A and B are shown apart, each in its own frame.
Chain A
Amino acid sequence: MLSFKRNYAHTLRHALVILFGLAMLYPVLWLLASSFKPNQIILTDTGLWPSTFTWDNYRNGWKGFQGVSFARFFGNSTLVSILCVLGNAATCSFAAYAFARLEFRLKKLWFALMLMTIMLPYHVTLVPQYIIFSELHWIDTYLPLFVPKWLAHDSFFILLMVQFIRGIPKELDESATIDGCGHWKLYTRVITPLLAPALITTAIFTFIWTWDDFFSQMIYLSNIKLFTVQLGIRALFDPTGLSDWGALMAISVLSLLPITLVFFFFQRYFLDGIATTGLK
């Protein structure tokens, strides 16, 4: 009797978790289904299976607007994301190596300042940064988007990697030093290979945040040829309600595809990365 009761509770909890999970996924599934529905029924059809199935939305959406196709926007987003990923991985790990392994003057001060910048809302630097970039004639280029990443501006990742490097046994460094390794060699040959999980976490997060970033792309880019996917979608979408909904849904699905794929391929690093940064 008792085991029956326990089984019952167990099944109930399982069912609830599944049901709730499905409800959570409904918006995403609805988006996917809508992208295959003919235009006129999208706004009223709440079902998850298209009654009539069409590829037209993808064909129409991909064409883009004003003579620029979405192939271009996807290419642009990919370029910006890759530049950002490389920048963050390189410069944040440099800084992390210095903080975790080297002794130098004012180390405590810099480290404290670095921690403070993690919590700093971007508003307070926004306007002057815009002025600096516009003085440099960087408006309508990708420089304002990726140069900050090459200057280790996302200090969150520095902290992540400092924590990680501190966990690497120091004996490795010492024996490498005895073998005649300098700091650069130590960084490239000893630390970097062991840092791989943290580097991958950094790369994935940077990729997703850059891909999804809307605010700074909107501020710095106005030339349609330079538009990223997010800007392209926003331009297709007309809040007064006259959008080509089918095309919009199709492109939305495509825009979510890269981050979803990256997530599924690197899930292990991803979820564990969140957990460890959260706790340490």
Chain B
Amino acid sequence: MRTSRRSPAHLQNGAAYLFLLPWLIGFFCLTLGPMIGSLYLSLTKYNLLNAPEWIGFANYAELFTNDDKFTQSLSVTFKYVFMSVPLRLIFALLVAMALNKGIRALGVYRTVYYVPSLLGGSVAISIVWRQLFGGDGAINRFLGWFGVKGPYWISHPDYIMYPIVTLAVWQFGSSMVIFLAGLKQVPSDLYEASQVDGAGKLRQFFRITLPLLTPVIFFNLIMTVINSFQAFTPAYVIGDGSGGPLDASLFYTLYLYLEGFAYFNMGYASALAWIILAIIALLTGIIFATSRYWVFYGDGKEGR
């Protein structure tokens, strides 16, 4: 064992590490080092001017026992994730299925539905959203046609979450493209065979399409959940940039930004960072753990 590992014949250490050098520097200086750094800082009080002062777990104690904004930002973010992720994936799947049935000019539709994902992350679209959901905006006009008087979406703390969630759902195109690719992999003879056996459309969907698509759903779910927890621009621009009205748009990342870069509580911000890492890791861990009960790999292979 030892000799084979040492045998230089098939190892290309020199060349390999040269090719890997930029990434290795990046990994140590921009990822691993800073991770350890922020773990240390989370146990200190640090404002960038004076040296970090060791305070043990005081930041975490403060967060969990005495910080209403922390609880608020967590609840806002969870609300956002639990509303936007399922809606976005359901839309993506339904539209992908509608497009997959041999529609003409598929490319055009694919493009049209993808455009929101392309533009949605920009400041410009967030500003447009503020206008669409404004008191006299298009959404309230539309509701007016049906005799519904729309609320002040942006300035009322009970409603501001809806424009932000809508913006996220609007960008379902990127997930849809992945679903479309997944649907193409489903062998059509399965449908033909089931049709001969007298299965209806609904039955086909739940017995063929959905099971065969679970690996793609799994991938989309993980990526969307991770990304949703990190949302910042929509909350910053559609809200007023400081979490208002009444902290209803105080997303977790926004709160972290305000603590770290507006008030320069770098230690506190680092503690916030580690808590969100733990939460995201826990949630993806749960999704991974449950995946063996609901993700179906057609060829009987485990994992990807």
CB contact list, A246-280 vs B, under 8 A: 248, 251-253, 255-256, 259-260, 263-264, 267, 271, 274-276, 278-280
| Residues from chain A with Cβ under 8 Å of B121 in the complex | 212
Interface size on A, residues (CB 8 A): 89
Per DSSP, chain A at the interface is: helix
Q: Are A127 and B273 in contact (CB under 8 A)?
A: yes
Between A and B, 20 residue pairs with Cβ closer than 8 Å are: A24-B115, A27-B129, A28-B115, A28-B116, A94-B19, A94-B23, A98-B15, A99-B20, A107-B16, A125-B31, A127-B37, A129-B30, A148-B30, A152-B26, A214-B233, A251-B124, A253-B124, A256-B124, A259-B122, A278-B216
Q: Are B226 and A121 in contact (CB under 8 A)?
A: yes
| Residues from chain A with Cβ under 8 Å of B26 in the complex | 91, 148, 151-153
CB contact list, B183-221 vs A, under 8 A: 185, 216, 219-220
User: Contacting B35 at CB < 8 Å: which of A13, A28, A125?
Assistant: A125
- A141 to B122: give the CA distance in the assembly, Å: 22
Q: Are B128 and A31 in contact (CB under 8 A)?
A: yes
- Asked if B55 is at the interface of the complex by the 8 Å CB criterion, the answer is no
- A129 to B33: give the CA distance in the assembly, Å: 9
A104 and B170 contact, Cβ closer than 8 Å, known pairs A121-B230, A148-B26, A271-B110: no
- A125 to B31: give the CA distance in the assembly, Å: 6
A123 and B124 contact, Cβ closer than 8 Å, known pairs A151-B30, A271-B177: no
Q: Are A274 and B178 in contact (CB under 8 A)?
A: yes
- Asked if B282 is at the interface of the complex by the 8 Å CB criterion, the answer is no
List of 4 A-B pairs having minimum Cβ-Cβ separation, nearest first? A151-B26, A252-B124, A128-B37, A275-B181
- Asked if B174 is at the interface of the complex by the 8 Å CB criterion, the answer is yes
- Asked if B87 is at the interface of the complex by the 8 Å CB criterion, the answer is no
- Asked if A150 is at the interface of the complex by the 8 Å CB criterion, the answer is yes
- Asked if A131 is at the interface of the complex by the 8 Å CB criterion, the answer is yes
- A104 to B7: give the CA distance in the assembly, Å: 11
CB contact list, A4-23 vs B, under 8 A: 13-14, 16-17, 20-21
- Asked if B290 is at the interface of the complex by the 8 Å CB criterion, the answer is no
| Residues from chain B with Cβ under 8 Å of A110 in the complex | 20, 24
- A236 to B33: give the CA distance in the assembly, Å: 37
| Residues from chain B with Cβ under 8 Å of A172 in the complex | none
Q: In the complex, what's the smallest C-beta–C-beta distance from B285 to chain A, in angstroms?
A: 11
User: Contacting A21 at CB < 8 Å: which of B38, B109, B125?
Assistant: B109
- Asked if B103 is at the interface of the complex by the 8 Å CB criterion, the answer is yes
B contact set with A: CB distance below 8 Å:
10-13, 15-17, 19-27, 29-31, 33-35, 37-38, 41, 48, 95, 98-99, 101, 103, 109-116, 118-119, 121-125, 127-129, 131-132, 134, 136-138, 141, 170, 174, 177-178, 180-182, 185, 216, 219-220, 222, 226, 229-230, 232-233, 236-237, 240-241, 253, 256-257, 260-261, 266, 269-270, 272-274, 276-277, 280, 284, 304
Q: Are B19 and A98 in contact (CB under 8 A)?
A: yes
- A14 to B180: give the CA distance in the assembly, Å: 17
A contact set with B: CB distance below 8 Å:
13-14, 16-17, 20-21, 24-28, 30-31, 34, 42-44, 46, 91-92, 94-95, 97-99, 102-105, 107, 110, 113-114, 117, 119-132, 134, 148, 150-153, 155, 158, 182-184, 187, 208, 212, 214-215, 219, 230, 233-234, 237, 239, 245, 248, 251-253, 255-256, 259-260, 263-264, 267, 271, 274-276, 278-280
Q: Are A234 and B123 in contact (CB under 8 A)?
A: yes
A30 and B128 contact, Cβ closer than 8 Å, known pairs A94-B22, A131-B266, A214-B232: yes
| Residues from chain A with Cβ under 8 Å of B103 in the complex | 13-14, 17
Q: Are B119 and A28 in contact (CB under 8 A)?
A: yes
| Residues from chain A with Cβ under 8 Å of B37 in the complex | 127-128, 131
Q: In the complex, what's the smallest C-beta–C-beta distance from A17 to chain B, in angstroms?
A: 6
Q: Are A131 and B174 in contact (CB under 8 A)?
A: no
Q: Are A46 and B15 in contact (CB under 8 A)?
A: no
Q: Are A122 and B230 in contact (CB under 8 A)?
A: yes
